[in-house]
Amino acid sequence: MNDEIAPENNPSEDFETSYADSLGARATAAAKSALLALITGEFADPVGIILPEGDVPYFQLSYESIGEYYATAGIVWHEISQEQAVELTVISTVFPAPPGSGIMFQPGDGMTETDIDPLTRQLTTSICEEICNEHQLPTDLLITISVPERGQASSLGG
């Protein structure tokens, strides 16, 4: 389940410039926590993910919601534009999808299809497949990524 080590054992030396500081990392972590809640009824909080460079960031949830056919988790992200930091919430909602559909992504509020970058798709897909396999469930999911407060969408990787 993307087994991460304790945060104090693997600090990111270049956290500010790594993918760990991106909206995409938060979307991936939120999707992981939401999927776990959909399956078990419990959100992972904090939630950690292993990044390609080996970093293991942990994120506190700022929002969570669970219903009969969905789970939603949100994580705060500070977007810096024109030298101002704006606090936004990255929200991932996970729904079961029809059999055979695989893992699909959908942009929500404040996002476009191209905003969900390939690395975010790859990491989220890998983590969700691992969780579903561990629970012997099909990997048919719809994941919606939203940033409701965001006026204009930009790349998740940045």
In this predicted model, what pLDDT tens digit does every residue of 103-139 receive, in sequence order?
999 999 999 999 999 999 999 999 999 999 999 999 9
Mean pLDDT of 3-10: 45
158: in domain: no
73: in domain: yes
- Whole-angstrom distance, CA of residue 155 vs CA of residue 158: 6
1: in domain: no
60: in domain: yes
For 82: left if phi > 0, alpha if psi spans -120 to 50, otherwise beta; the answer is left
**pLDDT score, position 11:** 41
**Domain of 119, in residue numbers:** 7-146
50: in domain: yes
Q: Is 146 helix (H, G, I), strand (E, B) or coil?
A: strand
pTM listed for this prediction: 0.83
**pLDDT score, position 149:** 81
Which residues is 146 bridged to in the sheet? Answer: 91
CATH of the domain at 100: 3.30.2110
